Amino acid sequence: MRDLMDRKPSRRRLLGGVGGVLTVGLAGCTDDSGGRDYERGTVELPADAEPRTPAELSVATQQATTDPSDAVAPTSAVDLVDHAFVFESGYLGATVQGTVVNRAGSRIDRCEVRVRVYNGDEQLLGRYLDRVGGLDGGRSWRFTVIVLEAPGDIAAYDITVLGTPA
């Protein structure tokens, strides 16, 4: 044991250790939340929830938004009033729906709701969002986030809202 403690680490071992520490340290900084905390949501499926047909999936894929905007950031001006997992018939299928309110007296140029969905093992399945351009002070917005995962694969979601004040 003493022999191991007296040995100097090789350059490769030292760089590997430093790289590992940096990777772990940065891991918490790479989510897509923009610094905003996510709220957890539960998923309750109706007994008759079926995956989308190929035609429905094609339409849903065209309607779903998956690319977050770099123009939004955490702001205390917008709040999630409510949100819920809702299974709709037709192409909509699995969705997260709710209400955002602009509590500020001034306009928000862009508002974005971000949803992450997970399976029963807490593995991330996908990221989806909805956005609106222009939300006046004191106004609310009803959002619908289309989730492309099969309903039976989704066990939980989390959600946040971001915005760009005018």
pLDDT of residue 147: 97
The top-level CATH class assigned to 34-165 is mainly beta
Of residues 119 and 9, more confidently modeled: 119
Cβ–Cβ < 8 Å for 72, 162:
yes
Q: Does the pLDDT of residue 15 top 90, yes or no?
A: no
Q: Does the pLDDT of residue 24 top 90, yes or no?
A: no
Cα separation, 147 vs 160, in Å, equals 15
pTM: predicted TM-score of the whole model, two decimal places = 0.77
pLDDT (tens digit per residue) in 44-88: 988 888 899 999 999 999 999 999 999 999 999 999 999 999 999
pLDDT of residue 35: 57
pLDDT (tens digit per residue) in 79-133: 999 999 999 999 999 999 999 999 998 999 999 999 999 999 999 999 999 999 9
Q: Does the pLDDT of residue 17 top 90, yes or no?
A: no
